[in-house]
Structure 1
Amino acid sequence: NTRHSIPLSSPLSVIIAVPDAVSHERRLETSYTVQLGAQLKSMYNLRLIRCDMLDYCRLKTTKKDNKILFEPQRLQTLMSLYSSSLCGLVLLVPKRTRLTTGDIKEEFASVCERSTDFHFPSFEHQLSSIEDCLQ
């Protein structure tokens, strides 16, 4: 069960996650160019993708000669983290914000907690901050 993903190259990319039940279907992708502003127009390229969203979040590795090798997608993500180009991921979830067993939010939280990006607050702390803002 190998899934291939292409790097996020658009200035603004929005990924729409789909349940595993439909992940075997072919990947769908479309792009739009949007102009915002009345006097000073800004142009944005928007790319919508239907895929397994967690493919963009999981750390992909391969094993060769008893060594674990990290695939270059992780490096690209880290290099673009502090760049000036906008990149975002939209995870559609039920209205309730608490995690439940088997929920895509739980799987996403697990991926976040395994990340080595220690300069960000914990996933639970970020989720708490979002909940406070929404109330």
Structure 2
Amino acid sequence: MKLSHIPLRLTSGAFILNSGLGKQKLDKESAAGMQQMGSRAFPALKQMDPEKFGKMLAYGETALGAALLLPFVPSRLAGLGLAAFSGSLLAMYFKTPQMTQEDNVRPSAEGTPVAKDIWLFGIALALILDPKNKKPAVLPTA
């Protein structure tokens, strides 16, 4: 892991890990509410049992947060996980009319808590696109 990745992975990883741990004992009503929001972007989620959805969400967030915090997980791999997670949040944001103003981009008051997660997508891109530290190739001399 590059030194410049530490702040990116630490802040996003701690935030997501805390969120996942907080969802470990999610009640059925709260899980159903989150499932309903998620199903706007991913209709197949409607078919899941709300409690199972809540557990999977909690485990997924906990695993992603841990992956971001563990230094032996490659940054690009952690970034791909973060991109999938944050991309899902943004898909839900853009597919929920109440979350955006009339231009369908700027957040409404209801959409601000989700729209702010664009920073997670930015961190993901930074981790994915950052070139590996490679030594320049040296051609053998005769």
Q: Give me the TM-score of the superposition, normalised by structure 2.
A: 0.27
Higher normalized strand content (fraction of residues): 1
Quick check: which has more Rg, 1 or 2?
2
Q: Give me the TM-score of the superposition, normalised by structure 1.
A: 0.28
